[in-house]
């Protein structure tokens, strides 16, 4: 009520600002807007109630065909799901055939759209219900109803707000079974595709190596499946994080979805940029810049090199310093006992010595030059 008054005040203020001094025009427009909104709300409520099961057909049996929509709530005793009705045919039990025939004749224009059905006992374990499946069921239906205790949850209003025409359960019958896909419109096909995708996500979450609480929270945050989180509310309240579920809970899944899409696109662009950058030869520019900084007479020629690794139980250095042969007596440019810097670089009880040489050098040439540089015998180096 307060929200409606605030909205009306805002609309009146805008109209007064637009109309200037013509306050009576603003008042008339406000009244017309209020009247039009009220009529629209009443018409929507009338249409919603018009799709409910007539009271004269309450607790009767029908054969319905349609599609399972939304996620299926299943356990060892029953399965519950929403059922979008495609067609309905009145079939009653023998003890109420006369009264049912007269009731159906009086309500031949009955238009049920969405049913909340439950399957108990053997039928719930024999059949694997999933979103998007098309079935024919024999069902016993009841009008939406709930308790009227003050301050408690109004179950009937919740059903009407969701557009549920009737609730009921599946009756064992030979007519029950899967049927071919009917010709639905594009919107229904899109809804069925989304529901099937959500069902696949739920199956992957249930198969994940997580605790029951972890799976329940993950399903609630990703696809809005709050069926398993009912028993966790008290724990969330004690931890002080219940607002994450109430205020921003389901938005996390939406933001994560956008993040996956944007991240995937950004990753593709980054990979393409890296491939393009790696294909560009920057060595000429680097050599020219180095020549200018060092004030050399000509651009230096780049030369390839190879790094050799040897392991030995003796340490020829013990200082961790880089050894360079200034006399150029062989192919080795430099050598270093890198295990002096960190023992983790070499196996236990050994020393690791990397050496850099020019291309086309043989192992014997490297060992001879290293023996000259370090002053030790290198034939036993591994």
In a domain, 191, yes or no: no
Instruction: Tally Cβ neighbours within 10 Å of residue 305.
Output: 13
User: Based on the domain organization, do 95 and 150 belong to the same domain?
Assistant: yes
Give residue 96's pLDDT.
35
Q: 212-223 and 186-207 are packed helices; what angle lies between their axes, rounded to 10 degrees? A: 160
Are 106 and 56 in contact by the 8 Å Cβ rule? The answer is yes
154 and 31, same structural domain? no
pLDDT of residue 21: 59
Segment 50-78, tens digit of pLDDT: 778 888 888 888 888 888 888 888 877 88
Backbone torsion region of residue 245, taken as left when φ is above 0, otherwise alpha when ψ lies between -120 and 50, otherwise beta:
alpha
Asked whether residue 103 falls in the same domain as residue 61, the answer is: yes
The closest of 30, 130, 41, 115 to 79, measured between CA atoms, is: 130
For 11-25, 46-60, 124-138, 335-349, which range has the lowest pLDDT when averaged over its residues? 11-25
Looking at every residue in the chain, the average pLDDT score rounds to 75
Question: Residue 220's domain spans which residues?
Answer: 198-256
pLDDT of res. 105: 42
Residues 62 and 132 in one domain: yes
Last residue within a domain, chosen from 278, 302, 326: 302
Same domain, 262 and 248: no
* Rg (alpha carbons) of the chain, rounded to whole number: 39
Q: What is the pLDDT of residue 95?
A: 31
Last residue of a domain, one of 247, 280, 302: 302
Q: How many whole angstroms separate alpha carbon 33 and alpha carbon 96?
A: 50
Residue 192 is assigned to a structural domain of this protein: no
**Stretch 204-220: mean pLDDT, rounded?**
81
Closest residue by Cα to residue 116 from 137, 89, 93, 91: 137
Is the same domain home to 179 and 95? yes
One-character DSSP codes across 210-248 = --HHHHHHHHHHHH---STTGGGHHHHHHHT-HHHHHTT
Q: Is the pLDDT of residue 129 over 60?
A: yes
In a domain, 380, yes or no: no
Instruction: Let me know whether 80 and 170 are in one domain.
Output: yes
- Domain match, 275 and 157 both: no
Q: How many structural domains are present in the chain?
A: 5
Whether 209 and 327 map to the same domain: the answer is no
- Which pLDDT score is estimated for 249? 54
Cα–Cα dist 39/264, whole Å: 48
What confidence tens digit (pLDDT) does each residue in 85-115 have? 888 874 333 333 333 343 444 444 567 888 9
CA dihedral 171, 176, 178, 182 (to 10 degrees): -90
Instruction: Determine contact, residues 67/82, Cβ cutoff 8 Å.
Output: no
Residues 283 and 362 in one domain: no
Do residues 99 and 215 both lie within one domain? no
What's the pLDDT tens digit per position in 365-374? 888 888 888 8
Q: Report strand pairing: 166-171 vs 114-120.
A: parallel
Residues 67, 179, single domain; the answer is yes
């Amino acid at each position: 009520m307060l929200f409606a008054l605030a909205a009306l005040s805002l609309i009146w203020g805008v109209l007064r600002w637009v109309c200037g001094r013509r306050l009576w025009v603003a008042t008339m427009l406000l009244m017309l807007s209020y009247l039009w909104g009220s009529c629209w709300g009443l018409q929507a409520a009338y249409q919603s109630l018009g799709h409910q099961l007539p009271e004269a057909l309450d607790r009767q049996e029908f054969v319905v065909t349609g599609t399972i929509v939304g996620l299926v709530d299943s356990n060892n005793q029953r399965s519950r799901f929403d059922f979008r009705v495609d067609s309905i045919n009145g079939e009653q039990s023998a003890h109420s055939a006369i009264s049912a025939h007269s009731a159906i004749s009086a309500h031949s224009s009955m238009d049920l759209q969405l049913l909340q059905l439950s399957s108990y006992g053997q039928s719930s374990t024999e059949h694997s219900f999933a979103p998007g499946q098309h079935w024919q069921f024999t069902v016993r239906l009841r009008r939406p109803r709930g308790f009227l205790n003050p301050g408690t949850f109004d179950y009937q209003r919740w059903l009407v707000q969701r557009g549920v025409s009737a609730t009921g359960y599946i009756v064992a019958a030979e007519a029950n079974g899967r049927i071919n896909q009917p010709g639905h419109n594009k919107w229904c096909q899109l809804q069925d595709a989304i529901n099937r995708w959500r069902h696949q996500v739920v199956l992957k979450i249930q198969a994940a190596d997580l605790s029951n609480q972890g799976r329940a929270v993950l399903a609630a945050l990703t696809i809005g499946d709050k069926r398993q989180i009912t028993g966790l509310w008290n724990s969330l309240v004690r931890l002080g994080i219940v607002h994450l579920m109430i205020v921003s809970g389901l938005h996390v899944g939406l933001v994560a979805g956008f993040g996956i899409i944007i991240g995937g696109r950004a990753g593709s662009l980054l990979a393409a940029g890296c491939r393009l950058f790696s294909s560009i030869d920057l060595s000429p520019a680097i050599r020219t810049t180095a020549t200018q900084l060092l004030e050399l007479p000509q651009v230096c020629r780049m030369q390839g090199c190879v790094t050799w690794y040897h392991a030995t139980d003796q340490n020829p250095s013990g200082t961790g310093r880089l050894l360079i042969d200034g006399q150029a007596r062989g192919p080795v440019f430099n050598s270093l006992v890198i295990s002096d810097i960190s023992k983790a670089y070499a196996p236990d009880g050994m020393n690791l010595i990397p050496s850099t040489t020019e291309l086309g050098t043989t192992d014997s040439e490297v060992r001879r030059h290293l023996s000259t540089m370090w002053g030790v015998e290198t034939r036993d180096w591994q």
